[in-house]
Amino acid sequence: MSESNEQGYNANPTDDDASTASEPHRIEYFDLTAFQRDILAAIAAHEGVPYGLAIKRRIEAWYVAEINHGRLYPNLDELVEQGLIRKSEIDKRTNGYELTERGADVLTAGADLLDEVRPQPRHATERPTKDEPVAPAQFGGGV
């Protein structure tokens, strides 16, 4: 049996687990803060290479709250240090940010995980009613 950490994801998959090649990226996904995950998603959602203010505006639209520079830029710098995004100079005052291949893999692994745990209706054409319980999806091949 493999070990699970406090968050419930499998830190040491075995051959018995239904793990995929993206398992290391899933672990990296969980190592990020929710805000850092949102930064990756904001960069991925932007057409072209977004600059800091464009990332800030997109996240503010999602959060319906103001994001201050003291929160955004240290997190961008940390994601650069982790090799998940690349920083480039657009002009003397503006930096652009784009996902690295590793950053895209981590974001994709997170999206795949969310897709796996989405509650499934009984039949492909049926949707559960408001009061009907929905069985949760299973992680990694069972409990």
Distances, alpha carbon 63 to alpha carbons 9, 42, 79, 130, in Å: 26, 12, 20, 26
Please tell me the predicted confidence (pLDDT) of residue 119. 81
Please tell me the predicted confidence (pLDDT) of residue 18. 41
Please tell me the predicted confidence (pLDDT) of residue 123. 64
DSSP 67-78: --HHHHHHHHHH
Contact 34, 114 (CB under 8 A): no
Please tell me the predicted confidence (pLDDT) of residue 132. 63
Location of structure tokens 């897709």? 115
Averages of pLDDT over each 10 residues, the chain, 143 residues: 42 42 75 96 96 97 94 98 96 95 94 84 65 55 43
Please tell me the predicted confidence (pLDDT) of residue 25. 76
Identify the structural domains of the chain with CATH numbers, from first to last: 23-111 (1.10.10.10)
Please tell me the predicted confidence (pLDDT) of residue 67. 96
